[in-house]
Structure 1
Amino acid sequence: MKGISITDAELEVMKILWDATEGLTTGEVKNRLDRSWERTTVLTLLTRLCEKGAVSAEKTGRSFLYKSLVKKEEYGLSKTQGILNSIYNGSVKSMVAALYSGGDLTKEDLRELRAFLEKGSE
């Protein structure tokens, strides 16, 4: 996963592919997006993702089926580690403190985080 840089627009396409149980055509991706992008725009994004190694394209008849080659969890971990290292100098405590002080963590989030940390320390 290291080395793959995905733009915000490409990420929207990746989210569609991650939610799919099988390969999708350009038209199917376009129809599932919450944007009114032209088919050519979606095709351009899919092509770029293929070139980056994030997506595969399999020719079936007259069209291509696109599938994610990168797992959502793998991408999320890579992005999170990047933020952790570049902004918080690798300090998980500082990152969680920033989320907490920003009001982004609910009481339920804190309960789940405590349970996760306690389970991890066993």
Structure 2
Amino acid sequence: MEKELKLSNADYRLLSIVWDSEPIASPELCKLTETQLGWKRTTTYTVLKRLCDKGVLQNESTIVTSKIKREHIQAVESRQVISRVFEGSLPKFIAAFLGEEKISDNEAEQIKQIIDEYRRQK
């Protein structure tokens, strides 16, 4: 499924609202997308149907819930970007991401802790 999962910006924007609000009735979802995204009801239902067809969301009896957690989507999307744009190189991605930006000592320590935890799990 990970290779087949292709999400547009619109898909991800709707997913974010669902993740923050689920379970949510589809009419309420339409109100939120209108307020937050400026979408019409028809746009919301078009994107909702597409995400249901992809197996990411479900809409049962007008109640919308996610079938895939935010963290999973973030991991899949991140791996796809690193693979496609940075030849699968995480160090190249980090270097490009940081660019000329400085990170704080606290951020550097958090990243180190994440890497150390990952190494312990292997």
- TM-score for the superposition, normalised by structure 1: 0.83
Q: Deviations over 1:65-105 (max 9, x none)?
A: 111111111111001111111111121111111122242x6
Paired position in structure 2 for 1:74: 72
One-letter identity of the residue aligned with 1:53: G
Aligned length: 116
Asked if 1:15 corresponds to 2:16, the answer is yes
Contact 1:55 1:70 in 2 (8 A): yes
Tell me the residue number matched to 2:83.
Answer: 85
CA drift at 1:115: 2.6
* Shift of residue 120, structure 1, vs aligned partner: 3.8
Equivalent residue for 2:50? 48
Distance in 2 (alpha carbons) for counterparts of 1:114 and 1:121: 11
RMSD: 1.8
| Residue 27 of structure 1, CA deviation | 2.1
In the TM superposition, structure 1's runs of 4+ consecutive aligned residues that sit over 6 Å from their partners are none
Which residue number in structure 2 is paired with residue 31 of structure 1? 31
Which structure has the highest helix share of the two?
2
- The aligned amino acid for 2:53 is E
Residue ranges of structure 1 left out of the alignment (5+ in a row): none
The 2-side partners of 1:55 and 1:118 are apart by 34
Task: Give structure 2 stretches of 5+ with no counterpart.
Answer: none
Partner-residue secondary structure (3-state), 2:37: coil
Between the two proteins, what is the percent identity of the paired residues? Answer: 22
Give the alignment's TM-score, normalised by structure 2: 0.83
